[in-house]
């Protein structure tokens, strides 16, 4: 029981780090309402490289070696199909800055004010929907961190770092429309920060569903599915955004830098952590 609690608290702590990184994205907005999209694109590309390295070189690789080529692939593509299904119900984040309604022509002052109020309501609604979507998005990420922590500290830690970097632009996507619509830095910051708290909720949910004493084959299969989820998330969302913001060449460079860093991290943690820490 002590071991199970240890795994749970470890996963919960790591998920808080990943989830609350949306607050860092919010700081980009409240400190500078026009965030540097090229930097965000490079960050997305770097995080995409981390994710791809984890997905293919760690999670899927271990599943194939542990439970066989066929079962490993079935679990991996089950994760792809699962996330591909639920993504249909998650609103797509919009990272582009809201248009300034004051630039639009109005027939008179009254109609201009009405148009501005209407536009701000629409932008506010967009921000709220994005926050809800990102909260739903973070639930499976929290589940992934828990399952990785069951496997070992190095897996959970690497997943948490990759997800944390990925969540920074998501914080921008939430805070930017909220700040524009309300002109309140506090509301923008807190809304973005709270949207990341769904990640620890994902840890709690999966901890109730799956005990940490899972059958090793099932655990490896679930981790293979996590690899599928991470790969789909990377190719569906992160790479297109990175290409849009910093250009294809720069984004690809950032991806391979991320992959190299994660590969080095995997090796370093493998040789440096005591054996008893890997569960």
- Residue identified by tokens 């998650």 is 90
Average pLDDT of span 82-94: 72
Choose between 91 and 43: higher pLDDT: 43
pLDDT tens readout for residues 207-257: 887 765 667 888 889 889 988 988 998 898 778 878 988 999 999 999 999
Q: Locate the domains of the chain by residue range.
A: 1-93+114-272
pLDDT tens readout for residues 245-266: 899 999 999 999 989 988 887 7
Choose between 151 and 260: higher pLDDT: 260
pLDDT value of residue 175: 86
pTM of the model: 0.69
Pick the closest to residue 140 from 217, 56, 88, 79 (CA basis). Answer: 79
Residue 106 has pLDDT above 90, yes or no: no
Pick the closest to residue 27 from 38, 35, 17, 37 (CA basis). Answer: 35
Q: Give SS3 for 154.
A: helix
86-104 burial, b for 16+ CB within 10 Å, e for fewer? ebeebeebebeebeebeee
Within the chain, residue ranges assigned H as helices are 2-19, 21-31, 37-52, 60-67, 69-86, 109-151, 153-182, 185-195, 198-209, 216-233, 239-246, 248-272
- Residue identified by tokens 């080095």 is 264
pLDDT value of residue 250: 95
When mean pLDDT is compared across 20-34, 86-100, 256-270, the lowest value belongs to 86-100
Residue 83 has pLDDT above 60, yes or no: yes
Cα–Cα dist 255/14, whole Å: 23
Q: How many CB atoms lie within 10 A of CB 255?
A: 25
Burial class (CB in 10 A: 0-12, 13-18, 19+), 42: buried
Average pLDDT of span 65-89: 90
Average pLDDT of span 46-71: 89
């Amino acid at each position: 029981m002590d071991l199970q609690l240890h795994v749970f608290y470890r996963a919960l702590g790591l998920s808080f780090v990943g989830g609350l990184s949306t607050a860092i994205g919010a700081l980009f907005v409240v400190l500078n309402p026009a965030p540097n999209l090229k930097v965000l694109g490079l960050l997305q590309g770097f995080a995409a490289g981390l994710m791809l390295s984890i997905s293919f070189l760690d999670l899927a690789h271990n599943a194939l070696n542990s439970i066989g080529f066929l079962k490993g692939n079935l679990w991996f593509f089950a994760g792809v199909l699962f996330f591909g299904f639920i993504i249909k119900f998650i609103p797509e984040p919009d990272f582009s800055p809201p248009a300034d309604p004051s630039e639009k022509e109005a027939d008179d002052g009254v109609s201009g004010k009405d148009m501005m109020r209407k536009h701000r309501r629409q932008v506010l609604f967009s921000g709220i929907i994005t926050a809800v979507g990102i909260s739903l998005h973070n639930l499976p990420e929290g589940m992934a961190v828990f399952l990785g922590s069951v496997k070992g500290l190095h897996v959970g830690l690497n997943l948490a770092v990759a997800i944390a970097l990925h969540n920074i632009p998501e914080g921008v996507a939430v805070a930017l429309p909220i700040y524009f619509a309300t002109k309140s830095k506090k509301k923008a910051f807190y809304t973005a920060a709270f949207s990341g708290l769904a990640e620890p909720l994902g840890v709690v949910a999966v901890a109730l569903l799956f005990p940490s004493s899972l059958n090793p084959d099932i655990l490896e299969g679930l981790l293979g599915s996590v690899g599928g989820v991470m790969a789909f998330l990377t190719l569906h969302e992160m790479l297109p955004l990175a290409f849009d913001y910093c250009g294809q060449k720069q984004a690809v460079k950032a991806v391979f830098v991320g992959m190299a860093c994660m590969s080095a991290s995997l090796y370093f943690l493998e040789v440096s952590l005591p054996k008893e820490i890997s569960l």
